[in-house]
């Protein structure tokens, strides 16, 4: 392996880790192994701290491929709690409002989910990495500032209802780059004349890379020790 020339690695991002923290950890172990102070390492698509699953990490010259990987179709398994919302649309923030769920049936959920398949417009969450006047939306939102984001056009290829234990549902979503599953949860809640927020999210696939192809970050150091690593001096 040659990390400077460029390698593409697949990780299962741990719960409560930021995407940046995972990149830092990988960079630290590679730098230590190579005995260098700096090496380029980047990820191909952010995952929220409360999400787990497939994260593609590129090193060295392979960081030029990041944009290519970002455009790959993604698959998620999402757990939604109906009847309540949070400002972040997930468990990062406390519940701020509750709504009736007595009218919701499995049939209503299935019919509603169909309306989200295809090309849709979605307003990203205020708690997101989108930029507003050069600043990250989540930095403004966490300060309590008003954040206004414009709708984005994206494509939902598939939505499948996996479990329906009302007021909780579990769905599988196949979607394009730029889809916020938290925002999808918000919109599904509204479409059901109720509210909803995410209580769990796993990215199970990016392109052809599946969760079973990914390594755990805790195993990375030992895995590195077993590799035949080529060291090039610039």
3-state secondary structure at position 89: coil
**Torsion angles phi and psi, residue 186, rounded to 5:** -55, -45
Tell me: cis bond preceding 106? Omega within 30 of 0 counts.
Answer: no
Please tell me the distance from the alpha carbon of residue 59 to that of residue 65, in angstroms, as a whole number: 10
Contacts of 167 (CB under 8 A, 6+ apart): 81, 82, 83, 101, 104
Does the active-site annotation cover 225? no
Q: How far is CA 38 from CA 24, 27, 34, 66, 220, in A?
A: 11, 8, 10, 19, 18
CA dihedral over 194, 199, 205, 206, signed as positive or negative = positive
Q: Which of 48, 145, 219, 225 is catalytic?
A: 48
Which residues are tagged catalytic?
48
């Amino acid at each position: 392996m040659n990390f400077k020339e460029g390698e593409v690695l697949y990780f299962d991002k741990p719960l409560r880790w930021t995407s940046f923290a995972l990149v830092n950890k990988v960079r630290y172990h590679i730098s230590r192994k190579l005995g260098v102070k700096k090496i380029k390492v980047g990820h191909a698509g952010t995952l929220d701290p409360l999400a787990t699953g497939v994260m593609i990490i590129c090193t060295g010259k392979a960081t030029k491929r990041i944009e290519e990987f970002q455009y790959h179709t993604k698959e998620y398994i999402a757990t939604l709690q109906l009847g309540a919302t949070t400002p972040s649309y997930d468990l990062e923030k406390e519940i701020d409002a509750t709504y009736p769920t007595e009218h919701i049936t499995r049939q209503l959920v299935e019919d509603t989910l169909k309306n989200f398949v295809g090309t849709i417009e979605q307003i990203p969450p205020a708690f997101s990495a989108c930029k507003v006047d050069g600043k990250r939306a989540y930095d403004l939102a966490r300060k309590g500032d008003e954040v206004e984001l414009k709708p984005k056009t994206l494509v939902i290829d598939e939505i499948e209802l996996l479990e329906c234990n009302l007021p909780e549902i579990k769905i599988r979503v196949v979607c394009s780059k730029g889809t916020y599953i938290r925002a999808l949860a918000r919109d599904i809640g509204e479409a059901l004349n109720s509210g909803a927020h995410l209580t769990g999210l796993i990215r199970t696939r990016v392109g052809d890379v599946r969760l079973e192809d990914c390594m755990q970050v805790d195993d990375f150091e030992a895995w590195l020790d077993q590799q035949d690593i080529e060291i090039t001096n610039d």
